Structures are given as C-alpha cells and as structure tokens.
Amino acid sequence: MVLTGPNGAGKTNLLEALSFLVPGRGMRRAGLGEIGCHAAGPGAPWAVSATVEDGIDRVEVGTGREAGHERRAVRIDGQPAKPGDLAGLVSALWLTPAMDRLFTEGTGGRRRFLDRLVFGIEPRHAAQASAYEHAMRERTRLLKAGGADPSWLAALEEGMARHGIAVAAARLAAVARLDEACRQGLGPFPAARLAVVGEVEGWLAEGSPPPQVEDRLRGALRALRGRDEAAGGATLGPHRSDLLVRHAAKDLAVGQCSTGEQKAVLVSIVLAQARVQGARPPLLLLDEVVAHLDVARRTALFDELCALGAQSWMTGTDAMLFDGFGDRAQFFRVTDATVTQA
C-alpha cells in the first residue's frame, strides 16, 4: 500500500492510525488528547476501527479516546478489552524519520523498539511489560510519599520481580532468534548482530533458573528502597535495559556508522523480524523510508516486501521512487487529508 502526496497532506496520520491497532502509544507516542482533530479542540474524542483477518478468523477491532475519559478504550468484536489484548491479534513495526537517531540517542527509544520486536514473537509480553510498569510506578509513588507500609511495598516488589523476569526472559529469547536471522543480511542490506544488555538479563544469561532470579531481583529491590527513594524511581530492573546492535561486516557499533548505514541496518532488522514471525507477519509501517535508499536497496526492499506476504504501508512525496513495485502494489494519492486511488 503506497501513499504519496505533499508534506502535511495526512500520509503519516494514516500510518499512525494503524499503529494504534497494537498496544502502546502509537507511532508518534502522542498523548491521547493530542490525537483528535484540532478543529474540535483539545482533548477531542477520536477512534480507529479495523477488520483483522488471518485467512481463518475475522475480528472487528476498535480503539480510541472516549469523550470525558483519559484512558484509551479498546473493543474487540464489540466487547470492552484491554490495550494489551490487541497483541494477540495484530503486531506492527514501523520506521519513521525520527528513528534515524535510534542508535545515537538515549536507551528509551531502543527499548521501545525492542519490545515491539518481542510483541510479534511473544504476544503475552505486552501484558507482562504493562504489569511490571504499573507495579513500578506504584512503588515509586509510595516511596516518594514516604512512610509506606513495608508489606505493601513488598507486594509491589513481588509483582515487579515476577513480571520483570518474564519481560527480561522474553527479550532474551526473541533477540536470540532475531540475531540469527539478522546475521544473514538481505542483499544490499547489511547483516547485523543484536544483543540485550541489562543487569537482570545478565543474571538470566548466567544460567540460574528464573525462580532464583526472581528471588534475587525481589531481594535487590527491597535492599534498594532508600536509594530508589532518593533517585525518584527504581534504579534496577528491565526498564533500564538496552538493545545493542553492531554492523556485522564492520564489527562496529551501528551508532558509529554513517546515517545511511544506520538506516539500512534498521530496515534489515525489520525485514528479518518479519521473516522470524513467519505465519504471523507484522504490519509494516514505513514512513518516508525509500527517499534515503539507493536504487539497489529500494529494489531489494520492494522485492522482499512482496515476498514476505506481510501487509506493508509506505509513504513518500515522490511517486516515482516507488516505480520499482510495478503492478505489485496498490497506489493512493493523499491530498488535504483526502485519499484517492492513483
């Protein structure tokens, strides 16, 4: 699905709408009140609906912000559901111009990118990550308030340990599979090496059984209450982990490669992830990706997208950049928030 049109026409808005079919804050990580129509005023309600088909089942999905509510609402076949429930129905990966700095900026963006990769392999990861973050926020709130009941803190730390180990283990397993796929590269796209680094992941990598690592994390959180209170948040846990990526041929951290090489590695990772997911390929949302690829890489990308069988959405200002698709794609023109078939 190729969307072309001038800047500001609304192409990225369509990709962002699709990104709300999975757990999380969407492709641009905007607040719920920032997504509605500007003309309707701040905090306006908005919604996205889709029919999800996998060749066997057909499911109606809806999500958005209801008037007067600050939480994102989700309905599956008309019934209320949690955002995490979407992970079992749809997975999605996206590349945006803002992600060109993924390997050179802070760990938060890489960690979110990593978790989207894991969602596609282990749908329960979304619920585990959400539960861990909720327990962590509540613990931080109690520590900041002071004088918290030790038993209540212990209960929250129990949740952080249980869900945190599940999060770390899922990341390690997913990245091991993806690293193997990324080593192969794809034609002109470079091979890459991936690894998760973090204290908790390191404990698991030592070979200790998960229950023992849970006990270790639980005890560490209890011992760190004073330090975490002073720091204003938990200083240990999988929320501090990072995704390390190396350019395999150069044996160089991707953050030290050229901007073009970083973009090529990102595309290589996304394509490898789609191959790993196999029968359950993700939605691929590629915003302004081809403009910075040479002809050889554009051709390789188009061929791979067609071979994958995944539903891929691409945007660009110049329709000529997509000529390599021939009749293998559907083309649409977006002008002033109106979509017409090209």
Please report the pLDDT score of residue 38 as a whole number: 75
Residue 260 has pLDDT above 90, yes or no: no
Residue 41 has pLDDT above 80, yes or no: no
> Average pLDDT, stretch 102-124?
92
Confidence of residue 40 (pLDDT cuts 50, 70, 90): confident
Residue 95 has pLDDT above 80, yes or no: yes
Please report the pLDDT score of residue 303 as a whole number: 94
Q: Which of 252, 243, 259 is nearest to 97 (CA)?
A: 259
Q: Is residue 18 part of a domain?
A: no
Q: Is residue 36 part of a domain?
A: no
> Average pLDDT, stretch 284-290?
95
Q: Is residue 44 part of a domain?
A: no
Please report the pLDDT score of residue 168 as a whole number: 97
Q: DSSP state, 59?
A: E
SS3 332: strand
> Average pLDDT, stretch 205-211?
91
Mean pLDDT (the chain) is 92
Q: Which of 50, 52, 49 is nearest to 88 (CA)?
A: 52
Give me the number of domains the chain comprises.
1
Q: Is residue 19 part of a domain?
A: no
Confidence of residue 30 (pLDDT cuts 50, 70, 90): confident
Q: Is residue 134 part of a domain?
A: yes
Residue 35 has pLDDT above 80, yes or no: yes
> Average pLDDT, stretch 32-54?
84
| Domain boundaries, position 137 | 102-259
Q: Is residue 2 part of a domain?
A: no
Q: Is residue 168 part of a domain?
A: yes
Q: DSSP state, 77?
A: T
Please report the pLDDT score of residue 186 as a whole number: 84
CATH of the domain at 205: 1.20.1050.90
Q: Is residue 198 part of a domain?
A: yes
Residue 69 has pLDDT above 90, yes or no: no
